[in-house]
Amino acid sequence: METSEIRRRFLKYFEDRGHTVVPSAPLPSEDPNLLFVPAGMVPFVPYFVGQQTPPYQRATSVQKCVRTLDIEEVGKTTRHGTFFQMNGNFSFGDYFKEEAIQFAWDLVTKSQADGGYGFDESVLYASVYYEDDEAIDIWKRVAGLPDDRIVRLGMKDNFWSMGVPGPCGPCSEILIDRGPQFGADRDWEAGDRYLEFWNLVFMQNLRGDGPGKEGYEILGELPSKNIDTGLGLERVAYLLQGVDNMYEIDEVFPVIARASELSGKKYGENPVDDVRFRVVADHVRSALMLIGDGVTPGNEQGGYVLRRLLRRAVRSMRLLGYEDPSLPELLPVSKDKMKASYPELEQGFARISQIAYAEEDAFRRTLTAGTSIFDLAVSKLKASGVTTVPGAQSFQLHDTYGFPIDLTIEMAAEQGLEVDTEGFRTLMAEQRERAKADARAKKLGHADTSGYRELRERGITEFTGYSELATDSQVRGILREGTIAPAAEQGEIVEVVLEKTPFYAESGGQIADEGQIVADGVKLQVLDVQRPVKGLIVHRVKVLEGVLQPGADVHAQVDREWRISACQAHSGTHVVHAALRQVLGPTALQSGSYNKPGYLRLDFAWGSSLDQATRSEIEEVSNLAVREDLPVSAEYMPLARAREIGALALFGETYDEEVRVVEIGGPWSRELCGGTHVKHSSQVGTLTVTGESSVGAGVRRLEAFVGMEALRFLGRERALVRTLSENLKARPEELPARIADLVERLRVAEKEIEKARAGQVLAAAAELAANPKDVFGVNYVGHRTPDGLGGGDLRKLALDIRGRMPTDRPAVITIAGVSDGKPGVVVALNDLAREWRLKAGDLVRIAAEALGGRGGGKDDVAQGGGTDPAGVDQALAAVEHAVGQSVTG
């Protein structure tokens, strides 16, 4: 049975039993503590913890999931994968244990001809929480399981919670005995013979503080009991398809087969190669799904994970012996297998492949550059006698140059070196924590949402800002640091929730409105507006006057000029997006945006930079649309209808079943959007594109000003042109040629200066070589150069002096100087000096220490630097002293 059929049967089974089929949420998680959705129940957490009222009592879904903790284990075992799918059925205060067990057992054991999975009942077991006698009784009654096929397990294995105080409850799992070839009889811990493939969570208790897995206090029972289940789709697939692991199922193995064809190596012949094949198959599929959901490669958060997955896949193909670009061969194979379940992959493949292939091209260049950087680092470490690559150096290679840590480890081993992996992981963990902290701060900075939930339970905040900028309202609640407060006094910064508000909360790339909220004797300045939980709009305000109390009648007024400019920017973003697609084609889809009064930026999928002519054409198409005074309208409609008429959605965004569609000129621009807009395109005003740049492989960014900001920008540009014209005595149209002429003349002058400086260096070499100092039989030259000579000049001078020195006496040359405020030093020795057991690397380290830095190199020439320019003379003296000590010692 194909994986897509297993998925279809699951959804149909539960839909036929009154469950609402809920589409998978996008992989990027809305929770600031998570990068991606790691489990099927995550999208339903707001319902389970009481943040939101569920719109249905029964639901079912097949949720796309990504777990990133085990990336390095992928391929080494047959059970670790990054992307997987979790089938689930959920009850919110409706049915409970007996129905959940009955549904699961029926679907699992019903014959395939009757729409079930057809598992043999004789090899199925159930595990339960050891105190849950109720579940044991149900398994006996519903499934007819005898005592010896019901396993009692402890809290660690069969009791679920989210790891923090909140809902929890016992679990019950369905396991299958795969036979003695997979392990010992009754060995529940090994996990290979008795494989769990469906977990039923009976969410009935409330837990207190304590460790994540076990040892916490159970505070009591929940007033409303819920069901959360998870059936691992990939596990069921390999059980039903007669293969041993998830890498060999129909949705994954074709990538391995194609990789085998390309590399000429067979899967199953070499354990080391098999790991690489599995890494390729898993990472290619995971990358396909992540890009499909709007993630783009980058150096932070989800983009960083995607970049790592793509690069590990490419590198694994190279280690298998395939040197050519591999993703164009493998990604279409994965797409063809996944599109049965996710048809949007076929529709968006031009964009997905463009991003993936651009990342591979960038990584192939990185491998070349990174290898050179690594080789240089290794030579310096060896010269210093160090046998371990520091964690900081590995992290820099990884973070700055995209060099994978496993590649660093492998190449270091080839050089006889180890890598400080612990130091590397520490730095990686610190970076991840910084990223999470930044994300949390953007969500109003409060980990505890109980205060918001309490206010949300009193009703939603009505948004009136589409039709008015001023609203009479009432204060529903005040929060201080996320906790409900009785009042707010003058000078305080607090959060305020109103019954209704005209203030737009930051979302969809549009920043929050500014303005004031006033009451009798009270004045509040609105600093920010957010939606920390669905349906609740929270104003972050500073109390300018008076004391604010809950229940107060207020007048909320949005700054009119702010909103007008914000509308111009948001509508301008839609205009530019439509212009992009008109000029570049339908694959130039928006992948993110940001707009504030007078300014917009738009990220879009594209593989190369835009030349000036293309940028000008996009700007012209945008302004023509503005001039045409196209009508702008917004309409609510079912999501299915919006998709049917071709409304564009932002990748990675989650949408309700009822959506708002904004049109500019009808089908010319039709997008799902909750933002505020102008009424006619002419109200956008002048639109001028100010920049275009790369923000990651396959993703470009356009920036533009609109309205008055565009006019101010053009005014500044005009003033700049006027100033240049006056200074250069040229008409505006003559400026490009005049400036090009000046640049060429400057380049020629710089070359002449460089030639003159080289001549001075060579002239100094002859004089210095002719007058060395005798240090116990060693010809010693210690010279401080004039400021401004860099490391290359110092090295050139030292080598030239060495070449002019007599060869019948040992010679040591130390040249030091300061360039751009940073001191540098070079030490060069002739052959006879090295025979006297002098080493340039040892001497340069002594000099660099006086400069407050480090140095190293070979025995005949070495280079170093530091941070203390005042130490140059001391460095020269220290080397001379060391030479004397070495010779006389």
Q: Pick out the residues of the known binding site for Zn(2+).
A: 570, 574, 673, 677
Tell me the backbone φ, ψ of residue 332, rounded to 5 degrees: -60, -30
Distance, CA of 46 to CA of 167 (rounded, Å): 11
Backbone CA torsion sign across 90, 93, 97, 98: negative
First to last CA, the chain: 83
The DSSP output letter for 215 is -
- Alpha helix locations (H) across 707-823? 707-728, 735-770, 791-804
Distance, CA of 200 to CA of 170 (rounded, Å): 9
Angle (CA) 469 472 477, round 5°? 110
How far, rounded to the nearest angstrom, does the alpha carbon of residue 630 sit from its chain's CA centroid?
37
The residue among 241, 224, 225 whose CA lies nearest residue 233 is: 241
**Bridging pattern class, strands 522-530 and 590-596:** unpaired
Q: Tokens for 425, please give them.
A: 């992981």
Tell me the C-alpha to C-alpha distance, in Å, between residue 11 and each of 85, 89, 546, 607, 711. 13, 9, 57, 38, 55
- Rounded to whole angstroms, the maximal C-alpha distance in the chain is 105
Distance, CA of 783 to CA of 295 (rounded, Å): 56
Bridge partners of residue 688, in order along the sequence: 705
For helices 327-338 and 349-383, give the axis angle rounded to 10 degrees: 140
Show the 3-state SS of 381-395: HHHCCCCEECHHHHH
Distance, CA of 604 to CA of 602 (rounded, Å): 6
How far, rounded to the nearest angstrom, does the alpha carbon of residue 332 sit from its chain's CA centroid?
24
Q: CB-based contacts of 122: which residues, under 8 Å, 6+ apart?
A: none
Distance, CA of 227 to CA of 776 (rounded, Å): 88
- Alpha helix locations (H) across 57-147? 97-109, 133-138
Sequence-separated contacts (24+) of 583-590 with Cβ below 8 Å: 583/614, 583/617, 583/618, 583/621, 584/614, 586/350, 587/350, 587/351, 587/354, 589/348, 589/351, 589/648, 589/651, 590/648, 590/650
SS3 category, 871: helix
* Residue 85 · residue 38 · CB < 8 Å: no
H/E run at residue 174:
strand 166-177
The residue among 69, 59, 64, 71 whose CA lies nearest residue 85 is: 64
Distance, CA of 559 to CA of 566 (rounded, Å): 11
Tell me the backbone φ, ψ of residue 686, rounded to 5 degrees: -60, 140
Tell me the C-alpha to C-alpha distance, in Å, between residue 413 and each of 13, 364, 368, 403, 417. 54, 22, 19, 16, 5
**Annotated binding-site positions:** 570, 574, 673, 677
- Alpha helix locations (H) across 444-590? 450-456, 560-584
